[in-house]
């Protein structure tokens, strides 16, 4: 493996710690629209709709169930925190002159909140969804297919910008949506993997909630 020049992080379960599988699941629970969103998720996994459509329709559910800016940020404060060692890990990568990125199917506004509150600094930030609030109310958002295979597309653009190859990259992920990007990079790290499939697809498996553990496997 060539020296690592870029470390790519998933967001839910990797950069952030929460008792929920994802930020989407968290808001489903808080708003009480789990049953309706399960129907949308089933359509996505059966190939009837793409990720962009699923996230847009789920956001419409949140509008219907009254998600506003106050509830949004109160929920984040109550249920989401940075993964242990996140700030130190990012700082160490910077010292080693290794670039960082986050590519996630989650919600960009949550990253922005944590970035401000905890002074998190990442070189490249790509999220599948961004919420728009107006006068405190959720109005809609901007949605992409940047999850699953879409993560590979995003990483390709970052590699082109940084003038590096996929093999120069390490990816830290935990879920099935990271499998496509795991297959492309020089180093795939499963961080507290959520399934055996993810665990078996990685070069390295870490089963601790201290993100600094990945630094032991990042070749300078």
Count, in order, helices (H) and strands (E) of the chain.
Answer: 9, 9
CA distances from 122 to 21, 94, 102, 119, 150 (A): 23, 9, 7, 10, 20
Q: Residue 2: pLDDT band by 50, 70, 90 thresholds? A: low
Report d(CA 78, CA 122) in Å as an integer.
24
Instruction: Please answer whether residues 41 and 53 qualify as being in contact, where contact means their C-beta atoms are separated by less than 8 angstroms.
Output: no
The domains located in the chain, with CATH, are 6-217 (3.40.50.1000)
Largest distance between two CA atoms of the chain:
51
- The answer to whether residue 5 scores a pLDDT higher than 90 is yes
For the segment 138-155, the average pLDDT, to the nearest whole number, is 96
What number is the average pLDDT over the span 135-139? Answer: 97
Summarize the confidence of residues 53-76 as an average pLDDT. 98
Give the phi and the psi of residue 191 in degrees, each rounded to 5. Answer: -105, 110
Report residue 158's pLDDT band, with 50, 70 and 90 as the boundaries. Answer: very high
Tell me the pLDDT tens digit for each residue of 160-198.
Answer: 999 999 999 999 999 999 999 999 999 999 999 999 999
Q: Average pLDDT, stretch 23-42?
A: 97
pLDDT digits (tens, 9 = 90+) for 77-92: 999 999 999 999 999 9
Say if residue 1's pLDDT is above 60. Answer: no
Average pLDDT of the chain is 96
Q: List, in sequence order, every residue forming a beta bridge with 28; answer none if it has no partner.
A: none
Q: Read off the pTM.
A: 0.95
Q: Which two tokens stand for residue 63?
A: 């509008």
Residue 151 · residue 181 · CB < 8 Å: yes
Q: What is the pLDDT of residue 171?
A: 98
The predicted pLDDT at position 95 comes to 96
The two three-digit tokens of residue 189, written as one number = 């790290």
Q: Tell me, what's the pLDDT at 59?
A: 98
pLDDT in the model for residue 49? 97
State how far the Cα of 186 lies from the Cα of 190, in Å rounded to an integer: 13
Q: What proportion of the chain, given as a percentage, has pLDDT over 70?
A: 99
Contact (CB, 8 A) for 38 and 136: no
H/E stretch holding 95 reads helix 86-95
Higher pLDDT, 1 or 44: 44
CA distances from 13 to 63, 104, 190, 207 (A): 25, 11, 11, 12
State the pLDDT confidence band at 43, using cuts at 50, 70 and 90.
Answer: very high
**The pLDDT of residue 119:** 87
Percent of the chain past pLDDT 90, that is, above it, reads 97
Residue 147 has pLDDT above 70, yes or no: yes
């Amino acid at each position: 493996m060539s020296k690592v020049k870029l470390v790519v992080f998933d967001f839910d379960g990797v950069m952030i710690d929460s008792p929920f599988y994802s930020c989407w699941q968290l808001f489903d629970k808080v708003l009480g629209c789990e049953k309706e969103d399960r129907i949308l998720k089933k359509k996505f996994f059966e190939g009837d709709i793409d990720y962009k459509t699923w996230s847009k329709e789920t956001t419409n559910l949140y509008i219907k169930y009254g998600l506003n800016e106050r509830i949004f940020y109160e929920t984040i404060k109550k249920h989401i925190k940075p993964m242990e060692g996140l700030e130190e890990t990012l700082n160490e990568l910077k010292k080693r002159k290794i670039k960082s990125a986050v590519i996630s199917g989650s919600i960009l506004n949550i990253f922005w909140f944590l970035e401000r509150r905890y002074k998190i600094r990442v070189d490249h930030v790509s999220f599948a969804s961004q919420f728009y609030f107006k006068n405190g109310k959720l109005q809609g958002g901007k949605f992409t297919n940047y999850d699953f295979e879409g993560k590979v597309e995003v990483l390709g653009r970052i590699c082109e910008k940084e003038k590096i190859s996929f093999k120069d990259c390490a990816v830290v992920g935990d879920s099935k949506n990271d499998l496509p990007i795991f297959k492309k990079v020089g180093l795939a790290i499963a961080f507290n993997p959520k399934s055996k499939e993810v665990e078996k697809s990685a070069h390295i498996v870490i089963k601790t909630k201290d993100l600094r553990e990945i630094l032991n496997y990042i070749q300078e």
